[in-house]
Structure 1
């Protein structure tokens, strides 16, 4: 009693957090792709300036879907853009 366990779980917790952050980036990437596709399908209507910049940032690397295709490269590209802070760089301009 009254003794602390000296086995640190911090490395395991850090690794798990790293994996959770990577999974979250993947989820946000898929949502970003879906949102851009939805905006593209409403051609002729305008969105907010921030959303248009976010859409344009993704569309510079990932084309609009006109037919079915393998999505893994597009998801990887969007995930990489997120990891590089592509969306974070847009936000300060609008705050």
Structure 2
């Protein structure tokens, strides 16, 4: 009986040790991520793909637009500003 209990304890310990190492990388950050947040999206400025929950967002004309970095966001907004001045 004690052998069975020790075996169960060892199996449980191995399971607890392996579980975080085998989970997908987007779940390892310790935060719950739903499928919508884990979606890959494309930066409209540089064309890079990134996870939505890791991006930088800004509201433009009532829509959220996501960028891979603050630099891409700022470049995109500057271009929009120049285009609106020309029009």
Q: TM-score, normalised to structure 2's length?
A: 0.28
Greater fraction strand: 2
Q: Which has the larger radius of gyration?
A: 2
Output the TM-score relative to the length of structure 1. Answer: 0.26
